[in-house]
Structure 1
Amino acid sequence: MKKKIKIIGSGFSSLSAACYLAQEGHSVTIYEKNATVGGRARQLNKEGFTFDMGPTWYWMPDVFERFFADFNTKPQDFYQLKKLSPAYRVYFDKDDYVNIADNQNDIIKTFEAIEAGSGKVLKEFLDEAKSNYDIAIKDLVYRPGESPLELVTPQTMMKLGQFFGNISRDIRKKFKNKKLVQILEFPVLFLGAKPSDTPSFYNFMNYADFGLGTWHPKGGMYSVVKGMEQLAKSLGVTIETNAAIEKIGVESGEAKWLIVNGKKVDADVIVSGADYHHSETLLDEKYRNYSESYWEKRTFAPSSLLFYIGFDKKIENVEHHSLFFDTDFDVHAKDIYDKPKWPDEPLFYASFPSKTDKETAPEGKESGIFLIPLAPGIEDTYELREQYFEKIITRLEQLTGQEVKDNIIFKESFCVNDFIEDYNSYKGNAYGLANTLLQTAFLRPKLKSPKVKGLYFTGQLTVPGPGVPPALISGKLVAGLVKKHITKEKRLTAK
């Protein structure tokens, strides 16, 4: 039974869902409000420089492989991958940094050199993290979050206590050196919450980091988007850009149409990969599942202040991925989660893709992406952006022992207001809902609308959570629920 399925947004979760639904033989159309596909994973091209505007880390390569394998393909059919060595560098002070190697054995040696005895402890910690990774990523996250019973397996029952502990406490019990603690807490930031609010079970992110490594797709993360777009089109998916959705139409309790750029478009099934809160505002209020007070009480992952910079020279003493942890993360975290405000001394991240990928900058020049995590919903002005750029570029110069301010050809910024304007993002969040204990699995906003038949949601505000690999999984999960719905409808029609 071929259905007309309309998908809102063209981010990773939407592209994933589109591929799976087209594979089932349905007529699938994606509507993207912006000029190019990719949602938050767009690309900026300027004066010969190329920047990923959104995600820049390629982690969990097995999830990408599993996605493409579902279509009898592999990532290498669409883009080239290179494992980064070192994976990244962490700066703590001038000439005081730690390089994270591209293999577990060397990372263990690095830890041991910093804190005697920590190498053995790290090995044991990573063994536990791998066990959790195998349970979570190979099984649990591929469940649609419809029931708490999805979490009940013999394996999870053996680890029940890990859902009530927290990563920060666990790490600090095992490691005393502050640098090692910060390095181990770093991967949790991808989950969008403070380490002290993240269940111990999520230490599987440390295995994703040290065990599986950090990779770079040639051309940037947008190469993955283009690969998925190519796959989707080969399966028959139609993609329309500059297509803003103004309304989701409901008739007799069923999702029946969209208003796209003022035009009514009929649908049998609607899947929204746009911001969940925004998607529900496209419905009449009686059909919304979550109130404004519900969203207000959620713990959101941070927003970000991003800069995309073209330098007229090569930048020294940095790696492709460089983290600047020379200030107190606990203080910065409070400014994000506890009492939201602009941080006085923010940690920041910098990516220099042209260190690995020559095509992302003209010869002899460097492309730089800078990111400061911020509380969503805070004030965003040009003056604040400039003030904070001055803070981080000055620290970059001091920590790496070079002058770069006079070598900036151009600088573009992206912050809270842009996340709202370009992505209809709730409070300008960058990563969706944080994965805290009370926002895990079945406790997250539902993939399937309980009030409107044929209406579904996918992406970082629903199951399984923030990040690119979870977005691919979210698309598969929602496609599975749609398939179940259509199969049930088919049986009823047959009767």
Structure 2
Amino acid sequence: MSKKVIVIGAGIAGLATAARLLSKGYQVVILEKNEHIGGKVASLSSNGFKFDLTASILMNPQNYKRLFEDLGKKHQDYFTLQRIEPNYRVFYDDKTHLDFSTELSDLLKNLETVSLKDAHGYLKFLSHGYNKYLFANKTFFQKKQQQISDSFSPLSLAIALKLRPQTSSYSYISKYIQSPKIKEFLTFQAFFTGLSPFKGPCVHSLLSVIPQAYGLWYIPGGMHSFVKALEKVVKELGGIIETDAEVKEILVAKGKAIGVKTEKSITKGDLVICSGEYGYATQNIVPPSPKLPKIDSLDYSCSAYVLYLGINKKLPQLAVHNFYLGEDFKQNIDCVFKGRLPLSPSLYIYCPSALDKTMAPQESEALNVVVRVPNLKSKPSWGDRTIRLLEHRVLKNLKKINGLADIDKHIVYKSCTQPKDFETVFNCYKGAAFGISPTVTQTNYLRPHFKSPSVDNLYFVGDSLHPGVGVSMVLLSSKHVVDELETQNTTN
């Protein structure tokens, strides 16, 4: 008889892991806390406007396709991919903007308007960064990193040194680029993981290399369409998804996980995989044990504030993915890690309706405006006053973009997600939107492991595990945890 696996959480990690297990013959039931699936990749709809709740940048499309290939399925039967052009449109405080195209000839023309020297430096940065990405992907991202030899063998150490972990993303980028406009664009992308680009290891600068090498992509209907694709394949394979079923306790007998308890029922199983946030899970639903890491001693990422805007006119000046890089760029990033709100925040502006007419009513736009903010270990109270203050600062900078000076007069829908929501809705420890911070001492083998150190038959998966944050990385995490589970079962 096949083993029964209980998966906690129906986000990307939980759904992808469940699908992989089902394809290998396991019985799987997924228990989801909320009334909807998707976790942080859920969707929001109102008056014809549709918003991806958080994740919106689709890079590394090969990881999305590979999941379905591993299931013996054709990904085209579940979702389609459209290439985005340009990758990013970047607006600056001086009213200028630059398009960062995947077409090198177009890109170079744009960069040369800023600096001939930096156009050459950008090409060198891409060339060297691409080689580093190939090394990192093959040696670290694509491997489980559950044995000390995975990260600390002579070969792994030699490759790690090539990645220059002691150098910050900003310092590494500054070797190639002098122009603040180009340098800040590259630096801002290294901020995607919720770690300071001025302190975090320069491997995160590869986040600006990957889109240039492989492009950025879009799934019609937004990122939540991928969640629906996962839901479809899970159900086709015989999986069960129960919503409104928050797990309150992982049941343990004789040192082994034997099931879970919700407010409504007890579900028994042979294995438990928790895709919920690692810090929350180990403090709240896993039995206490000295073998577990001290969660408060770990470094956590910053959080995010996401402002959702329904606009009753078209904004042709916006691409799908846009940045506004404001004044005092470094200061407004540093303050986030000192517990203060940015005075003049740089913005990531997601406008899917620029490409996809289904995301907004006719002659309208749906915008996500995203700002990195302190997590809840810091001082901001996140009451109504704080939220109004930050909204004012965001709109003030949004209005500096040419053609958006009167955008506040065209807002017909408005809501937000803030750190308290990440904590209460998604169980993110201290509202840290990107999980455990990917510092040098919290990466690869040094990150929490898939197999619980204190309870047999209990596993973890998600963005606080290896290889880290982002949908494409979480899809790799789902592969790694199933491989680890299969290895442990074979050994035992």
Query: What TM-score comes out, normalization by structure 1 length?
Result: 0.94
Match of 2:330 in 1: 330
Residue 463 (structure 1) shift: 1.0
Superposed, 1:72-471 pairs within 5 Å as: 72-151=72-151, 152=153, 154=155, 157-158=158-159, 160-161=161-162, 162-280=164-282, 281-286=284-289, 289-291=292-294, 295-337=295-337, 339-377=338-376, 378-401=380-403, 402-471=405-474
How many residues align? The count is 485
Contact 2:341 2:374 in 1 (8 A): yes
CA separation of 1:302/1:67 partners in 2, compared to 1, >3 Å: closer, same or farther?
same
Q: Deviations over 1:434-459 (max 9, x none)?
A: 22211110111111111100011110
Contact 1:253 1:452 in 2 (8 A): yes
Match of 1:70 in 2: 70
Residue 7 (structure 1) shift: 0.5
Residue 461 (structure 1) shift: 1.0
Amino acid at match of 2:435: G
Contact 2:326 2:345 in 1 (8 A): no
Q: Distance in 1 between matches of 2:202 and 2:116?
A: 24
Contact 1:302 1:429 in 2 (8 A): yes
Further displaced range: 86-95 or 173-182: 86-95
Q: Distance in 1 between matches of 2:132 and 2:22?
A: 33
Residue 287 (structure 1) shift: 6.9
Amino acid at match of 1:223: S
Q: Distance in 2 between matches of 1:288 and 1:42?
A: 34
Q: Distance in 1 between matches of 2:327 and 2:82?
A: 31
Residue 3 (structure 1) shift: 0.8
Match of 1:493 in 2: none
Q: Name the SS of the counterpart of 1:195 in structure 2.
A: coil
Amino acid at match of 2:287: D
Further displaced range: 308-317 or 211-220: 308-317
Residue 139 (structure 1) shift: 4.5
Q: Name the SS of the counterpart of 1:223 in structure 2.
A: helix
Q: Name the SS of the counterpart of 2:38 in structure 1.
A: coil
Contact 1:132 1:202 in 2 (8 A): no
Contact 1:334 1:340 in 2 (8 A): no
Q: Name the SS of the counterpart of 2:425 in structure 1.
A: helix
Q: Deviations over 1:52-106 (max 9, x none)?
A: 0010111111221222221233433212221111112111124311111133443
Q: Distance in 2 between matches of 1:297 and 1:159?
A: 25
Amino acid at match of 1:110: N
Residue 472 (structure 1) shift: 0.5
Match of 1:39 in 2: 39
Contact 2:300 2:437 in 1 (8 A): yes
Q: Distance in 1 between matches of 2:194 and 2:105?
A: 28
Q: Distance in 2 between matches of 1:158 and 1:303?
A: 31
Further displaced range: 63-72 or 247-256: 63-72
Residue 487 (structure 1) shift: 1.9
CA separation of 1:464/1:159 partners in 2, compared to 1, >3 Å: closer, same or farther?
closer
Residue 331 (structure 1) shift: 1.0
Q: Deviations over 1:389-417 (max 9, x none)?
A: 12221222232233121211121111011
CA separation of 1:465/1:96 partners in 2, compared to 1, >3 Å: closer, same or farther?
same
CA separation of 1:27/1:385 partners in 2, compared to 1, >3 Å: closer, same or farther?
same
Q: Distance in 2 between matches of 1:419 and 1:194?
A: 20
Match of 1:492 in 2: none
Q: Distance in 2 between matches of 1:472 and 1:159?
A: 23
Q: Deviations over 1:15-35 (max 9, x none)?
A: 111111111101011111111
Q: Distance in 2 between matches of 1:349 and 1:8?
A: 31
Q: Distance in 2 between matches of 1:248 and 1:206?
A: 40
Amino acid at match of 1:373: R
Provide structure 2 residue ranges, at least 5 long, that are not aligned to the other structure: none
Q: Distance in 1 between matches of 2:449 and 2:290?
A: 14
Residue 135 (structure 1) shift: 2.4
Amino acid at match of 1:352: C
Q: Distance in 2 between matches of 1:159 and 1:279?
A: 31
Q: Distance in 1 between matches of 2:159 and 2:258?
A: 45
Residue 355 (structure 1) shift: 0.7
Which of 458, 474, 477 is matched with 1:474 structurally? Answer: 477
Q: Distance in 1 between matches of 2:230 and 2:135?
A: 27
Amino acid at match of 2:158: M
Q: Name the SS of the counterpart of 1:197 in structure 2.
A: coil
Q: Name the SS of the counterpart of 2:97 in structure 1.
A: strand
Q: Name the SS of the counterpart of 2:116 in structure 1.
A: coil
CA separation of 1:336/1:298 partners in 2, compared to 1, >3 Å: closer, same or farther?
farther
Amino acid at match of 1:405: D
Superposed, 1:10-49 pairs within 5 Å as: 10-49=10-49
Contact 2:257 2:272 in 1 (8 A): yes
Q: Name the SS of the counterpart of 1:473 in structure 2.
A: helix
Q: Name the SS of the counterpart of 2:225 in structure 1.
A: helix
Contact 1:133 1:205 in 2 (8 A): no
Residue 154 (structure 1) shift: 4.2
Provide structure 1 residue ranges, at least 5 long, that are not aligned to the other structure: 490-495
Q: Distance in 1 between matches of 2:479 and 2:25?
A: 15
CA separation of 1:349/1:67 partners in 2, compared to 1, >3 Å: closer, same or farther?
same
Q: Name the SS of the counterpart of 1:412 in structure 2.
A: strand
Amino acid at match of 1:365: S
Q: Deviations over 1:167-197 (max 9, x none)?
A: 2112112211111111111221222212232
Contact 2:291 2:453 in 1 (8 A): no
Residue 219 (structure 1) shift: 0.2
Q: Deviations over 1:323-361 (max 9, x none)?
A: 111122311222222x11222221122111111100001
Q: Name the SS of the counterpart of 1:95 in structure 2.
A: coil
Contact 2:124 2:176 in 1 (8 A): no
